[in-house]
Amino acid sequence: MKKILISYKRKTIAFILAFMALTTTNAQTPSWAAKATKSVFTLKTFATDGSLLASTTGVFITEDGEAISSYTPFRGAQKAVVIDATGKEWTVENLMGANEMYDVAKFRVQTKKANAINIAESQATDGSEVWILPYSANKKPGTIKASVKSGETFMESYRYYNIQTTASNIENGSPVMNDKGELIGLIQPSSNTKQADAYAVSAPFAANLKLNGLSFNDPAIQATNIDIAIPSDINDALLTLFVARNAFKTQKYTDYVRRFVKQFPESADGYVNLARIAISNESYEEADKYLQQAVKMGSNKADAHYQYAQTVLQYCLQSNDKKTFAPWTLDKALAEAREAYKTEPQSVYMQQEAQILYTQGKYDEAGDLYMKLTNSDLRSADIFYAASLCKAQKKDTVQQLALLDSAVALYNKPYLKEAAPFLLARAQARHDAGKYRLAVADYNEYGTLMVAQLDAPFYYMREQSEVAGRLYQQALSDIDKAVELAPQATLYLAEKAALLVRVAMYKEAIEASQQLITLAPDESDGYYFLGAAQWLSDNKKDGMANLQKAKQMGNTAVQIFMDRHTK
């Protein structure tokens, strides 16, 4: 009986203590708690196989579904949902920002209307009372009273709080409120399990997370498979559209572009990118429809026509076996380019028209446009170079060289690397015009600028001009370098042997010819140059034998040599 009474007293005491604790908690529960609790939810993320990956707490910050919580659950996640305060489940639509260092993420939830919580405009001070709101579906609001023990400022305007509380096992991501019922932070439990203190990262910091054009390079973004939100700024969105092409697999990129079109229906770039995807699948009719949509829906009509023309031009430049869509012709590309210029007379649209005319072989018309462009905002070495190509096609060497002179003249000495392509072009044009020593001068300038990138073909080209300009010592040096850089190329070794014969260095010519025969025994050049060197160095017998062998192998130069030297 005594034991029964003791047990009864213990139960009574426990009941009274529990009632007192509940009364105390209710008395301390702020008036705003009931409404604020409706903003709290549970976040669940799932792996590719559908298994639960992680579960944590989060909170809505806007009525249209923007929310913040911990980032960690999103790592490796294929899908995410939230369960709101009423127990309803909603899909996480996309990730709007993430910071791995402070373990916070901002995302959008596909909900009809969220119960949003207000974010505090000012930071909580040390020693101030705060309340932690755990998730409680369909239950009376519960709060955990705590205080700010201390805080550290980061990124100039945000605070990382040390929260003093007697509670334990607080769910990560739980909102921390000030006495006005405003959100100041999200809980991040202490790694020290022996102490009750927790930490909270600034809620304004999490709420201000956003994506920009380079967000795809962020490891936190790359580590999740949840859809990435498209930046609200069109310029950032266009940059992400470009980056996404290489960052995403085909289907994910296609989905991203479609979301871009939905968000920015007046931007032609979305339709153009859908057209490119269709082209990659050889669906040209579908691509053409997207390009027509770009013209119809795009706010910048001129740019839409320009993109249309450029796409068709690129298609026309393909090999014939890939051109299966009859409506896409150079005439179509030209019509779109002219429509772009008609809509908005910009130099870049005139340049496109000139490019198409050149591709059509209409060199006079293309040249006239390029000459107009030399007096436009596009005046540059590239424009003079393009004009020179038109003159080259018309065999107008004088005008070609004059235009190349103008291209090079846009750069001051000492030249920078930007001038290199035009120096090289002028060197080749000067060689073709018989101005060999001037060509060598340009090759030398080019060589000085591009010394680290010079290859065997360059040394061979300069050697050709040096030989034609009777600069034999320089020519020998260059052909030696070409052979050194490409020892398996018979062209350079044959040129070396020919040059050595020409300058009467017969011993060296014989050695070079023998190397050539070893490298290419089935080619006649080695035997021809070997025979010529031997004949001219008075070894008539061996020389004639090798010359005859080269002749039998089909070398037509042998007879010319024999007619000149054996009669």
The amino acid sitting at 27 is A
Q: Which of 138, 1, 120 is nearest to 61 (CA)?
A: 120
Q: Which residue reads 């040209």 in tokens? A: 284
Cα dihedral 429, 433, 438, 442 in deg (nearest 10): 10
**325, 285 Cβ separation under 8 angstroms:** yes
Alpha-carbon Rg for the chain, nearest whole angstrom, is 39
Burial of 19 (0-12, 13-18, 19+ CB in 10 A): exposed
**40, 136 Cβ separation under 8 angstroms:** yes
Q: What is the per-residue pLDDT across 448-472, written as a single tens digit (0 to 9) for each?
A: 999 999 999 999 999 999 999 999 9
Residue 18 binned pLDDT confidence (cut-offs 50, 70, 90)? very low
pLDDT of residue 20: 38
pLDDT of residue 427: 98
Residue 564 binned pLDDT confidence (cut-offs 50, 70, 90)? very high
Q: Which two tokens stand for residue 353?
A: 């028209």
**426, 394 Cβ separation under 8 angstroms:** no
pLDDT of residue 17: 37
Per-residue pLDDT at 279 exceeds 50: yes
Ramachandran quadrant class, 196 (left: phi over 0; alpha: psi -120 to 50; beta: rest): alpha
pTM over 0.85: no
**CA angle (546, 548, 553) in 5-degree steps:** 95
Distance in angstroms (rounded) separating the CA atoms of residues 299 and 293: 11
Distance in angstroms (rounded) separating the CA atoms of residues 191 and 471: 78
Q: What mean pLDDT is predicted for residues 32-50?
A: 95
Q: Which two tokens stand for residue 352?
A: 């496109």
**178, 128 Cβ separation under 8 angstroms:** yes
Distance in angstroms (rounded) separating the CA atoms of residues 289 and 92: 32
pLDDT of residue 213: 76
Hey, is 66 helix, strand or coil? strand
